[in-house]
């Protein structure tokens, strides 16, 4: 598959971008379909942007604080994404909820989340799972709708929580699984269109 066929992937990320890094590595080695053509962040200091630049991938920053309203920010996100003509948008640690303008302008948009949804949606999924004392958590890749981690589930994988494990340790265990699962889902979606 070439990026001129249906394989153009735009990634939105707010943080360290280790999942982005896994996607880039898997695509470079042919294990994951498609090519990341752009990485967009709401945070100018996101290390994910440095990873993209190091890989020669176009980047853009669309910062909520630069706009008068959330609507205006969502409109800017639509314009920014359109410029890259994505076939698939992947939220990989993107910590803002996208508005209806964005969700309806592109399909599909997928998100990876560090819990077995519908349990523990939101920004503190691992902390919440530990607080509830669950013994198994995991990760979910789902289609993005207008809600917070509410879209249809595409794939899930379980991760056991060892007794006494810290939030950081559990999150890292989950991310190990997320890095593989997101690549599998990307490949499944893109290859369905070939
Ligand atoms: C992942 O656990 C993702 O599910 C969550 O944020 C984390 C991103 O990790 N939304 P990284 O920035 O890719 O390392």
Give the residues surrounding ligand 1 with Cβ less than 6 Å away.
Answer: 15-20, 92-93, 112-114, 175, 178
- Closest residue by Cα to atom 4, ligand 1, is 113
Residue 113 annotated among the catalytic residues of the structure: yes
The 58-61 sheet, strands edge to edge: 58-61, 35-41, 8-12, 88-91, 109-113, 136-143, 153-160
The tens digit of pLDDT for each residue in 61-90 reads 999 999 999 999 999 999 999 999 999 999
The tens digit of pLDDT for each residue in 21-47 reads 999 999 999 999 999 999 999 999 999
Whether pTM exceeds 0.85: yes
Secondary structure of residue 90 in the 3-state scheme: strand
Q: How many CA atoms lie within 13 A of 154 on its CB side?
A: 24
* DSSP state, residue 40: E
pLDDT at residue 1 above 50?
no
* Active-site choice (113, 124, 142, 171): 113
Beta bridge partners of 138: 158
Q: Which residue among 36, 50, 93 has the greatest number of ligand 1 atoms within 8 angstroms of its CB, and so is best to mutate? A: 93
């Amino acid at each position: 598959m070439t990026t001129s066929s249906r394989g153009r992937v735009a990634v939105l990320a707010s943080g360290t971008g280790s999942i982005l890094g896994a996607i880039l590595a898997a695509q470079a080695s042919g294990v994951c379909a498609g090519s990341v053509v752009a990485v967009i962040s709401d945070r100018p200091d996101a290390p994910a942007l440095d990873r993209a630049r190091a890989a020669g991938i176009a980047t853009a920053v669309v910062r909520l604080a630069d706009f008068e309203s959330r609507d205006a920010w969502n409109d800017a996100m639509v314009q920014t994404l359109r410029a890259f003509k994505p076939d698939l948008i992947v939220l990989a640690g993107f910590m803002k909820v996208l508005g209806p303008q964005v969700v309806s302008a592109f399909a599909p948009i997928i998100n990876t989340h560090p819990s077995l949804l519908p349990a523990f949606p939101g920004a503190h999924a691992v902390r919440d799972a530990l607080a509830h004392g669950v013994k198994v958590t995991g990760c979910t890749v789902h289609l993005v709708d207008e809600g917070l981690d509410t879209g249809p589930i595409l794939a899930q994988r379980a991760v056991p929580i060892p007794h006494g494990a810290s939030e950081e340790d559990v999150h890292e265990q989950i991310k190990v699984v997320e890095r593989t699962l997101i690549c599998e889902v990307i490949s499944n979606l893109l290859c369905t269109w070939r």
